[in-house]
Amino acid sequence: MQRDDLTPADRARVADVTAPAADFSKAEPFELMQAGATTIKKLINADIFSHPSANLTFEGRQNFLIGNGLFRKDWVSAPSSTQASDGLGPLFNARSCQACHVKDGRGTIPGFEVSERPDSVALLMRLAVPPVPGAVATVPQTPGSDKTVDRSQAVDVGDPVYGVQLQNFAVAGMPGEGSLDIQYTEVPVALAGGESATLMAPRYRIADLGYGPMHPDVQISPRLAPPMIGLGLLEAIHENDILANAARVHADGVSGKPNWVHDGATGKRVLGRFNWKAAQPTVAQQSAVAFSNDMGLSTPMFPSHYGDCTPAQKQCFEMPHGAQPRLGDEEVPGRLMDFVATYSSNLAVPERRDIDDARVLAGKQVFYAANCIACHTPKYVTRRDAERPEHRFQLIWPYTDLLVHDMGDGLADGVSDGEANGREWRTPPLWGIGLTKTVNPQATWLHDGRARTLLEAILWHGGEAQASRDRVVAMSPAERADLIRFLESL
């Protein structure tokens, strides 16, 4: 399975520089610049995830700054005197992109009291009704569409009343769809060396339903807004390198699979790379889906002005939209989407820290020894023919295979997304993970934010990652501390 963008000489060079580490006595060449020439060298502070790629051109930086303004601005409902900023809703989760991606990092969930109703907008609830063989009832096929599909087909579909995502807010004159209750149960875990940890197991319930009951078989899946850095570089990884990860034989029964999804721009079946289940193929489509589902804003890719409204919510379709005839048929026209995609593709990854530190190197060795790299593939060389010049032929260290894996019962949500089933999740990139709390002190980890620490996130691993998780449990306290020290250096 060879790359079509490389000469034979290039292939040999790429194979050499992307080979797994074998010497843990020192840092590897170029490891400091974990995002290649796009890596930024900046003062470490709360804005460290908000800088443009270091190698952007002057014009690229201008477009990045315009995209930054669009990413941060608050949208309002239509009609409004603030033209080109209206069209929010009718149903929505947030008024801006930045409201969920705090300083371009992870979103925030509330604290972990026994029972608490969150007011955070960053924790979204996906809704899905599983297929029922022989069923004749139909449910909406796409957000804001009156088209329906038979429930006997072998895919999950949205709730007939509430669609594919719960929107807890609505424009004036309409009720929101509901609110979220979370209850946590403490789960103690004994660790080798006399240590212990306590996991917080969440239980979710949707309350205050605004449009009547949900389907009795509906499954709900919380999804926390992930960090935004390095997305364009992930898109620039050659497809064959990702498929090679899927074909590779790993220890412990690890066997990731690609999630093949629909590309809204080309209509083709393509490799998914983005969101928690790799259900979106491009940064542009991921952005368009967020505008549609999270804010109810139309784009060229998803032109409905009514977002995730369903036929059961008739009032939704009676509300005015914010498209301006002088700008186009959509509330977020194509040119604005291009600026947002440029911004989202070029939020830079910071350089590594303490790569020669003895404890960091020891932690890297135990990371390898625990077989964490079976999913968290350390490095790639991006395509020579990547769409954006700044992303071409860069040695990068994202620590992900961009595949989905069975993560066990503890993390299962029962919701399919593309070809990823209810137990499968995409391996999240690890670059920047050590700066998570610097950017957002309230940030937590995993798809629903249940892990308060990196160690808790590891201890939630099950399924294909169970053996690696158990090795971490069996480590000495010093080895576990070194492992966390390595992760904090990323």
- At residue 142, the pLDDT reads 47
**In this structure, what is the dihedral angle of CA atoms 40, 62, 232, 427, given to the nearest 10 degrees?**
70
Pick from 442, 478, 476, 480: nearest CA to 459? 480
Residue 449 and residue 328 share a domain: yes
Q: What is the pLDDT of residue 152?
A: 38
Please compute, for residue 294, the number of CA atoms within 13 A of its CA located in the half-sphere on the CB side.
24
pLDDT tens digits, 169-224: 999 999 999 998 899 999 999 999 999 999 999 999 999 999 999 999 999 999 99
Does residue 459 share a domain with residue 356? yes
pLDDT given for residue 116 in this prediction: 45
Q: Is residue 3 part of a domain?
A: no
Examine the domain organization and report whether 335 and 370 are in the same domain: yes
What's the pLDDT score for residue 184?
A: 93
Are residues 310 and 340 both part of a single domain?
yes
Query: pLDDT by residue for the chain (490 residues), tens digit each?
Result: 789 999 999 999 999 999 999 999 999 999 999 999 999 999 999 999 999 999 999 999 999 999 999 999 999 999 887 777 899 999 999 999 999 999 999 998 876 654 444 456 889 999 999 875 544 444 444 444 444 444 434 456 899 999 999 999 999 999 999 998 899 999 999 999 999 999 999 999 999 999 999 999 999 999 999 999 999 999 999 999 999 999 998 999 999 999 999 999 999 999 999 999 999 999 999 999 999 999 999 999 999 999 999 999 999 999 999 998 877 899 999 999 999 999 999 999 999 999 999 999 999 999 999 999 999 999 999 999 999 999 999 999 999 999 999 999 999 999 999 999 999 999 999 999 999 999 999 999 999 999 999 999 999 999 999 999 999 999 999 999 999 999 999 9
351 three-state secondary structure: coil
Domain membership flag for residue 403 = yes
Q: Cα 165 from chain centroid?
A: 16
φ and ψ at residue 261, rounded to 5 degrees: -135, 175
101 in the same domain as 32: yes
In this structure, the answer to whether residues 103 and 191 fall within a common structural domain is no
* pLDDT in the model for residue 109: 87
The 10s digit of each residue's pLDDT in 4-27 is 999 999 999 999 999 999 999 999
Cα–chain center distance at 464:
20
Which domain covers residue 139, as residue numbers? 115-222
Q: Is 285 in contact with 121 (CB distance < 8 Å)? A: no
Q: Which tokens in the block code for residue 185?
A: 């149960």
Residue 111 has a pLDDT of: 67
pLDDT of residue 114: 41
Q: Measured between alpha carbons, how far is 321 from 304 in angstroms, rounded to an integer? A: 10
Quick one: 192 and 233 in the same domain?
no
Domain stop point among 222, 249, 267 = 222
Q: Are residues 55 and 147 in the same domain?
A: no
For residues 403 and 426, what is the distance between their CA atoms, to the nearest angstrom?
5
Would you give the distance in Å from CA 482 to the centre of its chain?
A: 27
For residue 79, tell me if it sits in a domain. yes
In a domain, 218, yes or no: yes
Q: Strand pairing of 179-190 and 115-116?
A: antiparallel
- Predicted local confidence at residue 115, as pLDDT: 43
Helix (H) or strand (E) holding 197: strand 196-207
Instruction: Tell whether 1 is covered by a domain.
Output: no
Q: Is residue 289 part of a domain?
A: yes
d(CA 487, CA 324): 47
Contacts of 378 (CB under 8 A, 6+ apart): 20, 21, 397, 399
Residue where a domain stops, chosen among 160, 190, 222: 222
* Domain end point (choices 188, 222, 256): 222
Q: What pLDDT shows up at residue 143?
A: 46
Q: Are residues 172 and 257 in the same domain?
A: no
Residues 301 and 436 in one domain: yes
Q: For the chain, how many structural domains are there in total?
A: 2
The verdict on 13 and 63 lying in the same domain is yes
Is 2 part of a structural domain of the chain? no
Q: Which two tokens stand for residue 69?
A: 């303004």
Looking at the structure, tell me whether residues 450 and 312 fall in a common domain: yes
The pTM score is 0.94
Task: Report yes or no on 354 lying in a domain.
Answer: yes
